[in-house]
Amino acid sequence: MITETDPIKHRIMIMSGKGGVGKSTVAVNLALAFVGNGKNVGLLDADITGPNIPKMLGIEDELPSADEELLVPVYLPLGCDHGLSVMSMAFMIEKDAAVPWHGPLRTDFVQRFVEDMRWNQWGALDYLIVDLPPGTGDETLCIAEFMDVDGAIIVTTPQDVALLDCRKAINMAKGIGIPIIGVIENMSGFVCPHCGYAIDLFGKGGGKRVSEEMCVPFLGSVPLDPQVVIAGDSGIPAVLEIKSATADSLEAIAERVSEFAESAEPESG
């Protein structure tokens, strides 16, 4: 619930047990789906050593500003009274520069991005989406410690190797007391753009199966679409420009996440 002292209504972590499952793509497009539904949204790229969200949004040349002692995130006005506020380590370093930091320094910067940001510069946020680095390391623990997180979304692909790590991410979230909003199965099938034939490149149904095994919700499947990759590389995410099964899936998942967040709100009065 938004108050004068807490201008963020809902905080949601996007996790994955391993890299390469499209977690950041899901985070960016979910955030923009919320914006498309008239919400004011913040997106924190918490992958300190591998930040790529500004590239995916076409804002890698922007810089955050400062307001008194706080940093002000980069803002994308996508509606008359709402938009997307973004913070990432990519704004703070030179292009292609490595960030070879030990865990304590990484978590210190994550804490600063949480506590020393004026996220409400353009109004209170309905959602703050936190895109975590892959795995179950320090940054996840730091976010859980310094934020009152509403829940976590776990992104996986269908194949067994990814599902092994998906289970670890679910168990970590449970172990530190973070509610599981659900599992998203990304790269779930590929439909040939020429003949329309569907191919299960990475298997099928693994995300739903692990959700049932771990007794957590299944949010949905997102098909693999080359146009989504092209759109992300060019800074134009899928839900903004592409009319496809992939964009439709992401928008439907955003609706389910909104339902979870609203059901978790305390009743007024």
What's the one-letter identity of residue 208?
K
CATH of domain 8-152+225-260: 3.40.50.300
- Looking only at Cα atoms, what is the longest distance across the chain? 57
Q: What is the pLDDT of residue 196?
A: 67
Instruction: Check pLDDT > 90 for residue 267.
Output: no
pLDDT, one tens digit per residue, over 121-166 is 999 999 999 999 988 888 888 888 888 899 999 999 998 888 999 9
Lowest mean pLDDT among 11-25, 70-84, 120-134, 177-191: 70-84
- For the chain, give every domain's residue range: 8-152+225-260
Q: Which two tokens stand for residue 30?
A: 């979910």
Q: What is the mean pLDDT of residues 214-226?
A: 91
d(CA 226, CA 12): 27
Short-list 255, 189, 180, CA closest to 210: 180
Give just the sign of the alpha carbon dihedral 7, 23, 195, 161. negative
CA end-to-end span of the chain, whole Å?
13
Phi first, then psi, for residue 190 (nearest 5°) are: -135, 125
Supply the mean pLDDT for the chain.
Answer: 87
Instruction: Check pLDDT > 90 for residue 185.
Output: yes
d(CA 233, CA 217): 31
